[in-house]
Structure 1
């Protein structure tokens, strides 16, 4: 094998040899077209961006994206869903509004009379079906029927609750009007009683979550964009170059929000989807913009004139889109494959994130290969002033590679040990689906419902509910009694459900998804009954959700693994490198999940990160981290491998190709990783718990991947494998020669 000198023509920053005499590719022709009319491309994108924000956020269609968001535990078609449907058909759920009153003197007859009169007026509000209050119980406050609505079950505590049920079937406008009028009337009650009152409802929880999501999005972008601009100013040593990826990221955010708005008309979008998907689009846009601008400046470094001529600028744009654009396309395809695995899951929230995520990746890709090059052409004179030639063959990253190559086994053992230690907490991971716990601990609606659950437990939904398909109440009661002494069971009640079924409500100590509640669901489902039984509740829903996810996971993993193996094989011509890349990604993602468990489940760093641990991780987070983290990790893998492969094809021996590849891409990878960590860290500062968990997980994943994996494990393992890195069976070698992805 030939061993070229360091003076041999070096490939460009994207891993592609600069062959100016090569036949123009479609990407090259696109670059030439952009160079001819850059202003038109920029104006078109400005108009598109304004339209995106106007529709998605401005509400020009009558509603914005944030008005269409929902919130709730993820669900799948299952036993728990079937049971819930039966209950809703027999006992249709009504929209409600609840008021808690404290510091009321319920022993004063005058105060009680004034409160009773004011409460009766609530029932006169149009759209109100009934009002449930201890003040309206015919037998008075001492009647046993009033006890569930009194704090502590007695008037002496000075607290009570009033629940307003609205007429079913009201349209949104009528429902909003009825709730507003009822709330105004309700708050008159504590006023006349010289007491304190607060109001809450399920719709207020959703509103609080969506409002917090919107605020977190603005805050996250407000933190991320300025900090990334500052970092890129130092990376590029100039304001113009630093601003171009930021502009691209801003445009991508608009496209992301519009795509989510469109999907909200097809599927119910959970409020947290917006930040999760926008976060990904923002990070990828900055990564791709960094790569594109760097490539364009590198091309300008070979100009003959101090001020680049129009032809030199056009050539730089052509080469940039042909080379950096190709890498962006390849990277976007890898990330899209990783996210497409989410489409195979049954849960609608996972499919929604998958579809929206893929669309956002495509938006970021199109922006990077059209708008950013157009901006580069318009700013070519400024960019040319500080355009620099490709980095030399020696430097901090090549020296790091050489140091690793001296002791590859020791490096592998040390790094894998660190990653395994970080991943150990994952073995004790507990999953949950939070409701109000998603909000900050001091959020009014979270405080309201936590107080309601504590002071009026009879009003909260039972942790476990069983639908017994039998009209024999006595037989169902006899069957249900066997669970009364199970761990954590506090009460058990059997009531008719329509004319043919019975409803068994079981209250269990602890949160709705506690271990006791889940164990009770498992026990009930395992014990045969003389009639059909269907178990539901939050614990049952979570069990069914995780069972569905586990059943579909092998297919999702298979799709992602197969797609990644094929693409990496087509790029490298090796079967060893793709397999090794997958294994390293699994180890690094396990470490990232271990960090999430250590922080959020075990409650470390609560003060620093401003959250309150619920003793578990949100149930969709591990699956999203695996999908998003895998895509981002492979993004950096492509950056590094493309250069190593290029040097190997030029004839460099394995170790030299690795050190040169690391030297040429190390700066890009570390800069990109730093920038994307800033983006994700901006969302760590948010208030929604699941967004905070995703932010921490992806920051950990990127940091681990860009340092321990890319800088240490990859060169160490490639050094250890030597020429076996490039092995492939003869039939596959012939296949790669024919269909391989090369410039």
Structure 2
């Protein structure tokens, strides 16, 4: 396959470049339509009680979602402002698709006790199609915002998803504007020339276009979370630069041995291209764990990110070779260096870790375990508007309500759906769970009880209220839904499926690493050290965003829990990225061992040959991830910080210290496998191509061949 791709790219470079140009136009044209289709509905899990009850209410309840306006002023009951509010309420009631708008001055609880704020809840009719709902929401929001008051904010319901989507689009654009110049500057330092440094950015732009197209395609058949656009763009940009860097380093070294650009491109694709292909496969395997969960969000994220990985691989294996054929002749070959000079600092570090292997393990492992300790107390939650930056409208509405109204005002209720046949005594006990419970009867006789929890929408009291209703109902036809109920069901789904997801990923990674190394101990060692770096990174994220330490430096605050999207995405993506760096280093170690037969020297030589590329790739990825932390949206801050730390810890402490220390400690047993597995690997495993002598320049990465 790689030979075919190389031939197509070198024989028809202009055709390949034209194809990718059309792909870019399609991605940044049609693909950006996904921004209008994003949803903030993350915790829905098909088949759960909360999801079934919500689906029933959407069908049977004549009322739909609610949008809320908040007016803040010195005296909201003043004649001038009151007249404006009453006229606005009357006009909103006349908007098509609006079911009800109560008079805030005569409805209890809608005017703040201090008289400085009031709420205008706007209830939509049920059963509206997307276009009709959008028209109704836009008309109602626009009319409320015309009220002349010091502060007017409108959000909630479908409007919140729109506002978050617009925020996501701005954050992606700003992150690209920040990261691309920084990445270009770093590539200039690495390659010393604008032409070589600019090519990875072209591949990166292709990765972004691929992210948009993949998400737009998935949005036609399933819901796409607002988080998806930022995570997939982040990863698409980072991996594209990573893969292009690997290919370009190899191309410059191949140019040192052949003046023929086309031949150098063929050698690059045949060798480093296999590394890119295998590395992409490890990322994809790591993401298969997300497919184990029945959550639409997690599955769509896994599929979308995997699609982006495929686009990045194809761009690195087709677009980049075509560009190199056309323009690579002007890229300077890698400089000749005396034997042993290249990567000397990394070789010294490896030899230090090998000599002091027990001391390295005794220091590094406890430090990583200490960093990982906060994970034992990790909590996940859906979150509220505090996750948004302070200047966003939804957050300003939340802060205004929090400042002027009693705790719990505006918190989504726990909805108990009592179907016909429910025992009256049971219904009475359920209503008694909340002093302010409100009931209404639907046309089919079903009673819907709105229970107001104290505290936050996803706090302990809210989830405890859900559990209490489910205890009281016994065998009665009662279902519970609402935000807190969806969180309870999502947590149960994670607890039930997480072990199977972990088993799937670890088994897949073990098989891939065995196919690559022929060893059973190296995959086990790799998984163990990678889990250490992941635990440390996730522990810091918990310490910052859940416990609130140093969160202010990132423009956030301690929320008491992580976003339920962050932990599974951090673990899945970071695990795959860590495998990339492991493969680069192991390839060089194994190649050196096959050439010299010296297990200890192979460790130093492997790190010497791969250390520079691994460090540069990790730094570039960290820059991309960190750029997405400038938006201020807490879930993306959590994912960005987690991935940044995971990449940096893994590429430095783990790969530069733990890997050489543990490999030296294992010695020749590192490459051991039982005889039946050894024969299996001899027949089906992947092997490196013969390496060059030490006097010749070694390629940047191993080549994999059958």
Asked whether the two chains share a fold, i.e. TM above 0.5, the reply is yes
Is 1:546 the equivalent of 2:507?
no
Decide whether aligned partners of structure 1 residues 239 and 454 sit closer, same or farther in structure 2, where only a CA change above 3 A counts: same
- How far did residue 177 of structure 1 move? 3.9
Decide whether aligned partners of structure 1 residues 456 and 662 sit closer, same or farther in structure 2, where only a CA change above 3 A counts: same
Decide whether aligned partners of structure 1 residues 241 and 520 sit closer, same or farther in structure 2, where only a CA change above 3 A counts: same
Quote the residue 1:645 is aligned against: 590
The match for 2:525 among 580, 588, 591 is 580
Q: Deviations over 1:257-284 (max 9, x none)?
A: 1111111101110111011011111111
Structure 2 contact 255–333 (Cα < 8 Å) conserved = no
- How far did residue 148 of structure 1 move? 2.5
- How far did residue 543 of structure 1 move? 1.7
Is 1:39 the equivalent of 2:14?
yes
* 2-structure distance, mates of 1:600, 1:272: 17
TM value normalised by structure 2: 0.91
* 2-structure distance, mates of 1:196, 1:45: 48
Structure 1 contact 401–712 (Cα < 8 Å) conserved = yes
- How far did residue 463 of structure 1 move? 4.1
The match for 1:298 among 253, 261, 274 is 253
Quote the residue 1:274 is aligned against: 229
* 2-structure distance, mates of 1:169, 1:525: 28
The match for 1:243 among 178, 181, 198 is 198
Aligned residue pairs total 685
* 2-structure distance, mates of 1:678, 1:374: 27
The match for 2:389 among 432, 440, 443 is 440
The match for 2:24 among 49, 64, 69 is 49
Quote the residue 2:686 is aligned against: 741
Decide whether aligned partners of structure 1 residues 450 and 536 sit closer, same or farther in structure 2, where only a CA change above 3 A counts: farther
Helix, strand or coil at the partner of 1:577? helix
The match for 1:163 among 110, 115, 121 is 121
Helix, strand or coil at the partner of 1:508? coil
Is 1:466 the equivalent of 2:416?
yes
Decide whether aligned partners of structure 1 residues 331 and 80 sit closer, same or farther in structure 2, where only a CA change above 3 A counts: same
Helix, strand or coil at the partner of 1:149? coil
Helix, strand or coil at the partner of 1:370? helix
Quote the residue 1:338 is aligned against: 286
Superposed, 1:52-131 pairs within 5 Å as 52-57=27-32, 64-76=33-45, 77-103=47-73, 116=86, 119-131=89-101
Helix, strand or coil at the partner of 1:511? coil
Helix, strand or coil at the partner of 1:504? strand
- How far did residue 105 of structure 1 move? 5.3
Quote the residue 1:7 is aligned against: none
Quote the residue 2:425 is aligned against: 475
Superposed, 1:611-630 pairs within 5 Å as 611-630=556-575
Decide whether aligned partners of structure 1 residues 534 and 378 sit closer, same or farther in structure 2, where only a CA change above 3 A counts: same
Structure 1 contact 521–539 (Cα < 8 Å) conserved = yes
Q: Mean alpha-carbon deviation: is it higher for 456-465 or for 669-678?
A: 456-465
Helix, strand or coil at the partner of 1:165? strand
Structure 2 contact 111–118 (Cα < 8 Å) conserved = yes
Superposed, 1:404-423 pairs within 5 Å as 404-423=353-372
- How far did residue 650 of structure 1 move? 2.2
Q: Deviations over 1:621-676 (max 9, x none)?
A: 11111100100000101111111111222242111111100000000000101010
* 2-structure distance, mates of 1:669, 1:113: 66
Q: Deviations over 1:106-152 (max 9, x none)?
A: 766787567545543443344444331145xxxxx4xxxx2232222
* 1-structure distance, mates of 2:95, 2:329: 69
Structure 2 contact 436–452 (Cα < 8 Å) conserved = yes
Is 1:256 the equivalent of 2:256?
no
Superposed, 1:22-37 pairs within 5 Å as 26-28=1-3, 30-37=5-12
Structure 1 contact 466–505 (Cα < 8 Å) conserved = yes
Quote the residue 2:690 is aligned against: none
- How far did residue 249 of structure 1 move? 0.7
Q: Deviations over 1:34-55 (max 9, x none)?
A: 3333333223222221222121
> Which is higher, the Rg of structure 1 or of structure 2?
1
Structure 1 contact 295–324 (Cα < 8 Å) conserved = yes
Structure 1 contact 462–505 (Cα < 8 Å) conserved = no
Structure 1 contact 69–268 (Cα < 8 Å) conserved = yes
The match for 1:428 among 374, 377, 380 is 377
The match for 2:318 among 340, 350, 370 is 370
Q: Deviations over 1:375-420 (max 9, x none)?
A: 2222233213555469736611111111111111111111101100
Decide whether aligned partners of structure 1 residues 208 and 124 sit closer, same or farther in structure 2, where only a CA change above 3 A counts: closer
Structure 1 contact 476–502 (Cα < 8 Å) conserved = no
Decide whether aligned partners of structure 1 residues 239 and 80 sit closer, same or farther in structure 2, where only a CA change above 3 A counts: same
